[in-house]
Copies of this chain bind each other. A is one copy, B any other.
Amino acid sequence: MRLLLISNSTNPGEAYLDYPKYNIKEFLGEKPIEALFIPYAAVTFSYDEYEKKVNERFKEIGHSVVSIHHYDDPVKAVEEAEAIVVGGGNTWKLVRMLRDNKIIELISKRVKQGVPYIGWSAGSNVACPTLRTTNDMPIIDPKGFDVANLVPFQINPHYLDTHPENHGGETREDRIREFITENQDIYVVGLREGSMLNLEGDDLKLIGKKTARIFKYGEEPRELKIGDDFSFLLKK
C-alpha cells in the first residue's frame, strides 16, 4: 500500500498546495499520472474551482487530476483510477458524499490493491479507521463515523500547540486526551502543519520539519522526529 497523508494543503502566505508539491512529485514518480481527484470536502466553493486550484500545482510537477464530479458513475471512476487524491475542506461533508456515492469501501479496496493515495487535511482523516479526530464543524450527518481504514491509527491533521490567548475553550491536546480516554486502544498522531506521513508497504515515515505528537491512553504523549521508528503505529 502507498499513502501520502498530508496535514494541511497550504502554509499561510503561500500558494495553494505549494509546500508539499515536491513530495507529491516524488510520491507519484516520473511517469505522468492523471489522478482521480475527490473534491467532496468543498462546501463554500465549487468542485470546478477546487479541481482547477489542485491542477495548477499538479501540472507544475508533471501530473494532473480529473475531478470525480465529471464522471457519470463515481464507482467506475474509482475502479479505473491510476491514483486517488482526496482534498481537504470539511470532513463531514466529504464523508457524507463518499458514503452517498458508495465509494468508501471501494477506495479502501483499490488502495489496498496498490493504487497510490494522496490526502490532505480531511483527505488524511478519511484514511483513518474513523473520522473521530477531525477538527471540523459537523455541518452534516455523515451517516456513520467509519471511513476508509487504510491505517489502524488516527491522524489529527493541523495539530496545534498554541491556544488562542485568553480563550476558555479546550486545547487541541485536551480534546485528544478526551479521545484516548474514550478510545483506549488506538493511537492518535498529532500531525503538525507542514508535516506528512508516507507509507510504502510496511515502511511508515514522517516528512517535514516538525515532530509529530503521539498519543495513547495510559502513556505520556511523545514527540517523534524524522527518522524515528513509526512502525508500532501499524500494529493492530
Contact A166-B44, Cβ < 8 Å, known A140-B182, A178-B137: no
Q: Which of A105-113, A127-135, A206-214 contacts B (4 or more CB under 8 A)?
A: A127-135
Q: Which of A168-193 contact B (CB under 8 A)?
A: 168-170, 174-179, 181-183, 193
Does B168 lie within 8 Å of A165, measured CB to CB? no
Chain A interface mostly helix, strand, loop or mixed? loop
Instruction: Pick from A21-29, A156-164, A219-227 the stretch touching chain B.
Output: A156-164
Chain B residues within an 8 Å CB radius of A138: 131-132, 134, 138, 145
When all copies of this chain in the complex are counted, the total is 2
Given contacts A162-B164, A164-B162, contact A178 B11 (CB under 8 A): no
Bound CA span A145–B143, Å? 10
Known A-B contacts A132-B140, A140-B132, A182-B93; the reply to A165 vs B167 at CB < 8 A is no
Which A residues are closer than 8 A to B by beta carbons? 8-12, 43-44, 89-90, 93, 121, 131-141, 144-145, 158, 160, 162-170, 174-179, 181-183, 193
